[in-house]
Amino acid sequence: MKHSSEGICYCGKGRNLNIAELLCASCSTWFHESCIGYQLGKLVPLMMNYFFVCKNCSATGLETFKKNQATFPQMCVTAIGNLMQASVKEGKPRKMFSKDHDIVPFIDCHWEGMTTMARRVTQSWHATIHRTLTKEVGTMFLCKDTSHDGSHPLYGLLGLHLTQIKPNYEAMIKGGHLRITEMGIQQVTAAGSVKGRNSRKKTLGDHGAGPSKKGRGGDSGAIKLPAHGYPLEHPYNKDGYRYILAEPDPHAPFRQ
């Protein structure tokens, strides 16, 4: 099912909600994944957690793309949106879906495409999805339960058409994650935090290496005693003077 919207892709065609598409942060044009030259990696349709600038708006003529870590509300919106579009494609349109039978299985199947967050080893994130859906009922999601005991709630999107699912670039600019420059809209990198981590590693390395080097130097420079227990070199052998031990030192330990 295809929808026409603002902006035209490189290919000159309108939107296609069955495939992944990216919204340019500069010109607000939608581009099909297959028409973009940048190596995008795994994606899913109706994503919200990315930054993209098309080659028409880029000062270098090259596309810019970065997938960010998705929040659980964003993952839920993307999951429900894809489930809605899949039901339309199958000819059985649905707007409400089960957390356990629909939403969680979709996220589990497409985890790597939806977010940069490492896949959870345990299933504790299932409870996080439930809390997210419940908390955002009335703001982002609808909830409907036809069972008598309320044990089978169904969730849908609240007043949000599928063509409106997109990154909130305005919020990113206000939040300081994006900035408008002479070169266009650019993503702000966390250079300070990277520098801080490197500085911390260097500091820890310096503290760790200091004593060990000193210890090794002390061991190599220590006076080695022969079997008779006193040094061969007199401690005052300096400034051109040389003392020679003529008889055994009576104070030397282990003296025979």
pLDDT tens track for 215-237: 454 454 555 555 555 555 666 66
pLDDT band at residue 176 using 50, 70 and 90 as cut-offs: confident
Q: Decide if 29 contacts 22 (C-beta within 8 A).
A: no
Please give the structure tokens belonging to residue 15: 């939107």
Pairwise CA distance, residues 151 & 164, whole Å:
31
Summarised one tens digit per residue, pLDDT across range 13-33 is 999 999 999 999 999 999 999
Which region among 43-52, 164-173, 197-206 has the lowest average model confidence (pLDDT)? 197-206
Kind and range of the H or E element at 87?
A: helix 72-89
pLDDT band at residue 205 using 50, 70 and 90 as cut-offs: very low
Domain spans of the chain, in order of start: 72-163
Q: What is the pTM of this model?
A: 0.69
As its CATH architecture, domain 72-163 has: Alpha-Beta Complex (3.90)
Q: Strand 97-98: give its sheet, edge to edge.
A: 97-98, 153-157, 141-145
Summarised one tens digit per residue, pLDDT across range 85-116 is 999 999 999 999 999 999 999 999 999 999 99
> CA distances (Å), 243 to each of 221, 226, 237, 239, 251, in order?
21, 18, 6, 11, 17
Q: Please, which residues have CB within 8 angstroms of residue 218's CB and are 6 or more apart in sequence?
A: none
User: Would the pLDDT of 184 be above 50?
Assistant: yes
**Letter string b/e over residues 212-223, b meaning 16 or more CB atoms within 10 A of that residue's CB:** eeeeeeeeeeee
Q: Decide if 80 contacts 156 (C-beta within 8 A).
A: yes
